[in-house]
Amino acid sequence: MSDPPPVEEREPQARAVGSDVVVRNLSVSYGDHHAVRDVSFDIKAGTTLALVGESGSGKSTIALAASRLLTADATIDSGSVCIGGIDVLGLTGSELREMRGHTVAYLAQDALAALNPVVRIGRQVSEIYSVRGGEKKNTAREKAIAALEQVNIHNPERVARMYPFQLSGGMRQRVMIAMALAFEPALLIADEPTTALDVTVQADILALIVDLQERNGLTCLWITHDMSVVAEMADSVAVLYGGQMLEMSDVYSVFDNPRNPYTSKLLECFASGRSAGLKDPFSSIPGSPSSRALTIGCPFSPRCDGADEACRTESPPSVEMPPQHWTACHHPLEVGVDR
């Protein structure tokens, strides 16, 4: 997509809580598979951008690239990820180590898999302060208890003596949040952290993150395919398909007036799932995402009702449809089109 409006430049800072995030022309591949292609977006300081799309659309790849956690078989072909004026893709050695946790923190989907199953919770949290912060053992433990208390874990001393398997899914995710925010990162990347939780616990975790964001001025990149979470959490939305950005705007514009057929279909499916009766059919998008991103044409063209020859043979142009609403489509939807 074409570049969004430029974000005002700021002086780089080591612990820039609430920094602007500027991603430009990011492309990532796994061998000959182009997982992310020329993706650009901005996140204003203290706000939340939701990356939305079906499984395999490139959401997690973007998150892992921004936090420099890509696997060895992945290659960053081009682009930049600037946080508070610092391009994290250009960091190496001690600078890269310092960046993790201070500039960017990554909140994984499966907290049970992310935590060490044979190490007590208190030790896992306190190691952050002792190993990364250089604190003495007693001070590190005190900070660990305080961090657990900050994420609304009652009786944190007791929880610190427990192992991950002894905690509920919601409690484990709270521990992960405490660890992620230990050094007040500029950017929190939340990769579907509530997917495995029941609805009540999910609501508690979402409310906790919103509270911490408002309290600390945290900038957040939220990755999800759940449109209800998007509506609750996001200030702006970026819609991905086949590794490409198809639409981006503020959350109200995307929900009220989607300009890309794929976004419109996603919202139609979401509305159908919320309102359908026991015998009503659910709305769905025919077909399934290709396991290989298309190298020509619109990636959504095989599943789009309105696709024509241009859609199948020419990459769609990125068009700004004021105010500040971008879509990559040969035939963008008009405002007010029934979905």
Q: Which domains does the chain have, with CATH numbers?
A: 21-103+185-278+316-328 (3.40.50.300), 112-182 (no CATH)
Yes or no: say if 270 and 231 are a contact pair by the CB < 8 Å rule.
no
Q: What pLDDT is stored for residue 1 in this prediction?
A: 53
| Per-residue confidence (pLDDT) for residue 336, from 0 to 100 | 55
Residues of the chain short of pLDDT 70, as ranges, are 1-18, 273-280, 290-295, 336-339
- pTM to 2 decimals? 0.86
Whole-number pLDDT of residue 6: 44
Residue-level pLDDT at 17 = 53
Confidence (pLDDT) at 144: 96
- Please report, for residues 14, 41, 140, 157, the alpha-carbon distance to residue 129 in angstroms, rounded to integers and kept in the order given: 17, 33, 5, 17
Contact 315, 297 (CB under 8 A): yes
pLDDT of residue 26: 96
pLDDT of residue 5: 42
Alpha helices in the chain (DSSP H): 59-66, 93-102, 111-114, 121-127, 137-150, 156-160, 169-180, 199-216, 227-233, 251-256, 261-275, 309-313
CA distances to 124, 159, 185 from 118, in Å: 10, 15, 27
What kind and span of H or E run contains 240? Answer: strand 236-241
- Whole-number pLDDT of residue 55: 86
Q: Give the span between the Cα atoms of 45 and 188, in whole angstroms.
A: 11
